[in-house]
Amino acid sequence: MSKSLFESRMTEDVKIRSYYGKFIFNSHFLVFLMIAAGVLLYTLLSLRESLNPSIYIDVLSAIILAVVLNPKYRTLLKEADMLFLPPYEKHMDNYFKGAKIYSLSLGITLPVVTSLAILIMLTIGHDVLTLSLFFIMAIILYFNTFSIKTLAVNTNLNRLAVTLSYLFIDFTSLFLILIHPAFFILAVILVILSQIFVRRHVFENISWMNYTSYEKDQQQSYYQTVSMFTNVKSIDKSFKRRRVLDFLLPVYKGEKFDKKHMYEYLFYRSFIRDHDLPMIVLRIMILFFIIMFWISNLYVSLIFSLFGIYIIVLQMSQIYTAQAYLLWPKVWPVKRSYIQDSYIRYSHKVVFIITLIFLFIFIIIHPAQFYLSLIFPIWGYLLNRVYSKSIYKKEEELSD
């Protein structure tokens, strides 16, 4: 029974991933990935020829690999399972075995790709023995981290403390081997001690509340990641007031707060007080800026700027769908054209400000080629027009 139950849950999860995957990995994104991969490979090979052996390269390599050696763990349990599955607890071995195998398959791509990139960098100043032990330890740490994550769910250990612990162990173990291959033994001892410590805290019986709560958090984390590229209906939406950003809200008084301007204010308000969207936009910009500063390649900066603006424009559309179909249109019915015009004004202003930020960062990194950054506002404007029209078209098709 447990095996068939897991297979049905896995099939359902694969369908969800396939559905959202076709929106994420569209032709535009695949072209970007190929271009970015080519530029990154060219940059790494160029750095390999120009850089000298350095402890900073070792530290950076150990940190990056320690971060990506973080396999996902999905149990695919639901809240109702807390009521119906406890009587079958002793017969759930096949279910959790299947969950572990499926989980390991979900997160293997990123560590493999990152390991290949790090291998190129570590050939600077390291022999074959050191590199072999380094990547053998990386494989051991990958499975050790996965084991710790699966065991820690059924304990009272703090999740953040567990995460910081295995990140520290992974970084320390990898870095020690780069210092001297003999430290491989010490790294193995750290792995064994981490297993002993976690296993001592594991409950004798399954904590169904822990497992269902953990799976709910993992599912929401997946949906939040997907929401960076497309709208997700299943995500838990909430709003959060950030008082430090209140000054950004326009103030409409008297006649200006009418049916033609009301929704523009609501769009600004929703954007600033959305629980995830402002932070998602901020994380995208920071991530792309770090990559641009780190690589400092003209073509990388140009491609990442254009793609960053593209992702952010995709995010803006969820504000329209969030506000245009809530209670307000029923409380204060207005023509749909007023809502659309308000969205256009709001989105063009926000996108323009974001493109200006990308423009300034690009000019700081590449002052001699500042003229190339002038395409950013134009690119943002055209993208926003195209995606706005697609939203309206879908709305017309769904309306009676």
Per residue in 19-60, pLDDT (tens digit) is: 888 777 766 667 667 777 777 777 777 777 777 888 888 999
CA distances from 195 to 52, 61, 143, 149, 363 (A): 37, 25, 11, 11, 50
- Sequence-ordered alpha helix ranges (H) in the chain: 2-24, 27-50, 55-68, 81-84, 93-106, 109-122, 128-152, 159-179, 184-200, 208-226, 262-273, 277-295, 298-324, 328-331, 336-365, 375-398
Buried b (16+ CB within 10 A) or exposed e, 221-257: ebbbebbbbbbbeebeeeeeeeeeeeeeeeeeeeeee
Model pLDDT, residue 68: 93
**What is the share, in percent, of the chain residues with pLDDT greater than 70?**
82
- Residue 144: per-residue pLDDT: 95
In this prediction, residue 40 carries a pLDDT of 75
Axis crossing angle, helix 184-200 with helix 128-152, rounded to the nearest 10: 0
* Token duo for residue 283: 């994380």
In tens, the pLDDT along 186-212 reads 999 999 999 999 999 999 889 999 999
The per-residue pLDDT for 243 is: 62
Task: Identify the CA nearest to 223 among candidates 275, 271, 267.
Answer: 275
Q: Which two tokens stand for residue 116?
A: 């290949």
Residue burial 39-53, b: 16+ Cβ < 10 Å; e: rest: beeebbeeeeeeeee
Contacts of 199 (CB under 8 A, 6+ apart): 151
Picking from 130, 124, 126, the residue whose alpha carbon sits closest to that of residue 52 is 124
Please report where in the chains the tokens 């195998």 appear, as a residue.
Answer: 101
Which pTM was predicted?
A: 0.71
What pLDDT is attached to residue 28? 62
pLDDT value at residue 245 = 62
Residue ranges for the chain with pLDDT beneath 70:
1, 26-29, 31-32, 228-261, 274-276, 318-333, 391-400
Please state, rounded to an integer, the average pLDDT across all residues of the chain. 83
Is 377 in contact with 352 (CB distance < 8 Å)?
yes
Task: State the pLDDT at residue 385.
Answer: 85
Cα 324 versus chain centre, distance: 27
